[in-house]
């Protein structure tokens, strides 16, 4: 009986060890090694779980892209570029709450999800403060014109933006507008426009992305 008890205890200990190992590996697979925040898979899965909860009908997604990041890599080397990515990730950790979801989607693109309703004034105040913080932390790279552009979208039944895919498309469209307007700024896509085409189909009478495309063509 003693032998059986010991065998079962050893078996249970090994089962717990394997379970713990699997959980740790799964967690690691959802994290970005360089910055210590979530990677694309981890971010999307986490946000989708939040949106699938009963009664969740609000939230804000921000898509951030570092402007002229390539110039840092080309001029100072990739190790310095990696340092910039970690620096920006640190800004995100400090600027946003633990209840917010932050992740590096790939390259120099990051996302933040605020899992609650945010009024216009509060959102703009938050974004203004965030932009100021980023400019301050990236000031050493001013000669490379390193900055951040941000596209913002909301969960909104009226515009049909109610799942992660549509939320991402809407925020990415807003990011395109922010860059088209000159970079180093944010744009809030209140109308939920989701256009990923390289050329304008002129499908709307008034469209901020169409205006940004026109502006880019003029600059070219």
Token couple for 205: 């009478």
Q: Is 100 a catalytic residue?
A: no
Q: Looking at 32, 65, 67, 108, which residue is catalytic?
A: 108
Buried-state track 101-117, b at ≥16 Cβ within 10 A, e below 16: bbbbbeebbbbbbbbee
Residues 6+ apart with CB under 8 A from 60: 113, 114, 118, 123, 152, 153, 154, 155
Sign of the C-alpha dihedral computed for residues 135, 109, 63 and 214 taken in this order: positive
Q: What distance in Å separates the CA atoms of residue 19 and residue 13, rounded to the nearest whole number?
A: 10
Query: Which backbone phi and psi does 72 adopt, to 5 degrees?
Result: -70, -45
Q: Where does the chain have alpha helices with state H?
A: 2-29, 40-51, 69-76, 78-95, 120-137, 164-180, 208-219
109 DSSP assignment: E
Catalytic residue numbers, as ranges? 108
């Amino acid at each position: 009986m003693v032998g059986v008890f010991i065998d079962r205890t050893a078996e249970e200990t090994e089962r717990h060890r394997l379970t713990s190992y699997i959980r740790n590996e799964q967690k690691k697979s959802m994290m970005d090694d360089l910055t210590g925040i979530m990677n694309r898979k981890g971010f999307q899965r986490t946000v989708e779980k939040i949106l699938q909860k009963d009664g969740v009908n609000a939230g804000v997604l921000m898509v951030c892209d570092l402007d002229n990041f390539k110039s840092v890599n080309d001029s100072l080397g990739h190790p310095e570029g990696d340092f910039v990515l970690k620096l920006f990730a640190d800004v995100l950790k400090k600027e946003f709450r633990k209840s917010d979801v932050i992740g590096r989607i790939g390259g120099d693109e990051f996302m933040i999800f605020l899992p609650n309703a945010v009024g216009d004034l509060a959102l703009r105040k938050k974004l203004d403060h965030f932009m100021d913080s980023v400019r301050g932390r990236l000031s050493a790279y001013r000669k490379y014109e390193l900055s951040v552009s941000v596209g913002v979208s909301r969960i909104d039944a009226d515009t049909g933006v109610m799942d992660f895919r549509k939320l991402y498309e809407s925020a990415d469209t807003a990011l395109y507008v922010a860059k088209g307007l000159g970079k180093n700024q944010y744009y809030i896509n209140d109308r939920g426009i989701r256009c990923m085409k390289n050329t304008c189909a002129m499908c709307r009478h008034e469209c901020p992305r169409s205006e940004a495309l026109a502006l880019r063509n003029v600059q070219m």
